[in-house]
Amino acid sequence: MEKREELYRGKAKTVYLTDDSDKLILLFRNDTSAFDGEKIEQLERKGEVNNKFNHFIMSRLEEAGISTQVEALVSDTESLVKKLKMIPVECVVRNVAAGSLVRRLGVEEGQSLNPPVFEFFLKNDALHDPMVNDFHIVSFGWATEAQIASMKALTFAVNNVLKKLFDDAGMILVDYKLEFGLDKDGEIVLGDEFTPDGCRLWDKETRKKMDKDRFRQGLGSVVETYIEVAERLGIKL
């Protein structure tokens, strides 16, 4: 597979075209950002850790019957992925109260949520990713009602798989965000990434934060903690 010109550069990943019009190469960089890009640093090995972490998680989801964008590792920092037409909303599931939910509703951090809370957010850094609902999504043409239903069902299917995976490794999957796109046949496929950058993970016993909150809150040992999470899951780095 030949990597060609850059298609898109995000805050932490770069997407490249390939000689196959249906395939892309996703490069995970060492860039780390928070607060809509206001805080940015380079963290050694982060791109490699997140690339291998994402491939492992997506492989587990594929084994569970959930279609994902990821096809293969290309290098330590690159993955071959299916080209998708991305839907511009994030699907967020919260198993435990934390982050913006606590700030918005004044609830106690750490409160278990049963059933889990599902939320949609518009992907728009300039607007700080505002919360939206099904009516906004359909009215503005971002997705159809059928596609919304599929995204919700797939997001909860992911939750069932990953809550157990992390629990078995001594961690709590607090919350996470997923992004979906349409493949060449118009089917909904899980895209983007699942790494500690896009979820919250706590140690089950100590409640130690093991995700990007370590960067947001200046707790330090960001990549070292990501590596600890990977090793608990049995990911070879």
Give strand pairing partners of 94.
117, 175
Tell me which of 46, 67, 82 is where a domain ends. Answer: 82
What does the pLDDT read at residue 37?
67
Query: How many of the other CB atoms lie within 10 Å of CB of 64?
Result: 13
The answer to whether 3 and 25 have CB atoms below 8 angstroms apart is yes
CATH of the domain at 71: 3.30.200.20
Q: Please tell me whether residues 193 and 215 are part of one structural domain.
A: yes
Q: Please tell me whether residues 27 and 67 are part of one structural domain.
A: yes
Mean pLDDT of the chain: 96
What does the pLDDT read at residue 155?
98
Q: Please tell me whether residues 91 and 78 are part of one structural domain.
A: no
Q: Please tell me whether residues 35 and 141 are part of one structural domain.
A: no
Q: Please tell me whether residues 124 and 76 are part of one structural domain.
A: no
Q: What is the pLDDT of residues 23-67, one digit of tens each?
A: 999 999 999 988 766 788 999 999 999 999 999 999 999 999 999
Q: Which of 199, 230, 214 is nearest to 41 (CA)?
A: 214
Length of the chain (residues): 237
Q: Please tell me whether residues 102 and 37 are part of one structural domain.
A: no
Query: The pTM is what?
Result: 0.95
What does the pLDDT read at residue 1?
80
Tell me which of 66, 82, 98 is where a domain ends. Answer: 82
Q: Is residue 235 part of a domain?
A: no
Structure tokens, 49: 């850790």
Q: Please tell me whether residues 98 and 58 are part of one structural domain.
A: no
Structure tokens, 19: 């000689």
Q: Please tell me whether residues 67 and 99 are part of one structural domain.
A: no
CA dist 87 and 137 (Å) reads 10
The answer to whether 174 and 200 have CB atoms below 8 angstroms apart is yes
Q: Please tell me whether residues 53 and 147 are part of one structural domain.
A: no
Q: Is the pLDDT of residue 7 over 90?
A: yes
The answer to whether 168 and 80 have CB atoms below 8 angstroms apart is no
What does the pLDDT read at residue 25?
98
Give how many domains the chain has, as a whole number.
Answer: 2
Q: Residue 76's domain spans which residues?
A: 3-82
